Structure 1
Amino acid sequence: MSLCKDCITGVRHEGTPTGTIAQIGGFDCYVATPTGDYARDKVLLYFPDALGMQSPNAHLLADAFATNGYKTVIVDYFEGEPVPHERVFAPGGAQGFDLLAWLGRHPAPRALEIIRAVIAALKVDGVTKFASTGYCYGGRTGFDLGFTNELAVVTTAHPSLLKCPEDLEKYAAMSRAPLLINSCEVDQQFPVEAQKKADEILGGGKFAPGYERTYWEGCHHGYAVRGDMSDPKAKAGMEGTFEGTVKFLKRYF
């Protein structure tokens, strides 16, 4: 399994992040905290794409989740070595970047180890329930923690690195966490065939905890966090995915 060119292309979004960088469990995290009252026993874990915890787009999304009442923590599971967002946001994306070598330095088991250290530290502070929102690489991570029921709810947009149908069948068999998959028309990582297989395995009430899938026509892999907001379809996809994710979280988390 590998990533694709759409994993390292995109557009930087406008806005000024309002969260903070903090050490949790010995690892850097971006923390977005609601300004009003919120459930302090819950945390939304944001599992980023290849741009990592440092991505300005991820910061803005985390801030938006906080505005909707969820303390949101982006975990730096790339340990300070994301794909440089300056290159990704350049015309043509991060051309020439060695994705395979980079991915080899950041395997899923290490990412999970870091996330679990963060979860353990948050539990010491009184957090008892965790949900996830994962993008690209982070979608795979959400599935892994969903298999083991370390998350109460799993949401993802254009997940990468999934085995189809194996991981979908495993989720159906092992997880108790409601699952939302936001999908799109052009996605080498989670193509239409995999999307239909997800519905076949989990949809129609087959997955009792809860399953939904959205589909955004005219959108490409990465649209939910790096889409071109001057493109009406990409804008509708990103905004609709965010709104749908918040609605799903409010229903199940």
Structure 2
Amino acid sequence: MTDIPAPPWRKARRANAPRTVLSRDLIVATGLRIIDSEGLDALSMRRVAQELGTGPASLYAHVENKEELLDLIYDEVMGEIRVPDPDPERWLEQLRELIMDEFRVFRAHADIAKVGLATVPTGPNALRIGEGQLAIMLAGGVPPKVAGLMVDRLGLYVSSDAYEGSLYITRQRASGKDLESFMGEFFGQVEEFYRGLPTDRFPNLVAQIDNLMNPGGVERFEFGLDLILRGLASCVEEATGPTTKG
């Protein structure tokens, strides 16, 4: 049997869109997607609600406010970081691998570094990372006080480096250009400026411009991290004393 068409003068009834079932996980995932695509400044409870096709008031049954949402998003990102089981024979290598993985994750979610700065870890994933760092260092013989200080310093090093990267991405978004084009143009202008400096006043800056400009972001991060870890290893050597061969 063929359905009878509706008269042309009668408006067709639109089917109601299925209601989104809200949950804390969905709100957090939506918030993270906004931060990754548009930056931290674009995030608001209203914006998340719009993305989910609901009103801001409906979010408050799951998340108290924007501050709590940011804490939850931050901890969600920290959940992507791998933490190895401590191996005393490889502790320094393991710590380096862990920090490099943090660096990778923070670069993938650049604006999240703004949340990590001046934030005391309280979420389960952030606590897992702090616990893992301590376990690795203590297994390697790092003095407890040094290990405690190093957890703070390493977190600051990762967050500050990623934060600098997020500032460039913010400029890139405002320029309307893709990231590669923006960075190439920006640093090309920086290099041109330095090469044009008067050599009688700034001979070293002009002469060393290639060494100042050429290393990429990952290479720069690894350079600083290796210096930090070298200093940490020396603390273990001082604590244990020189090895005497009989």
| TM-score tier (shorter) | under 0.3
Scaled by the length of structure 1, the TM-score of the pair is 0.27
Higher RCO (CA < 8 A, seq sep 6+): 1
Judging by fraction of residues, say which structure has more helix.
2
| Higher radius of gyration, 1 or 2 | 2
Scaled by the length of structure 2, the TM-score of the pair is 0.28
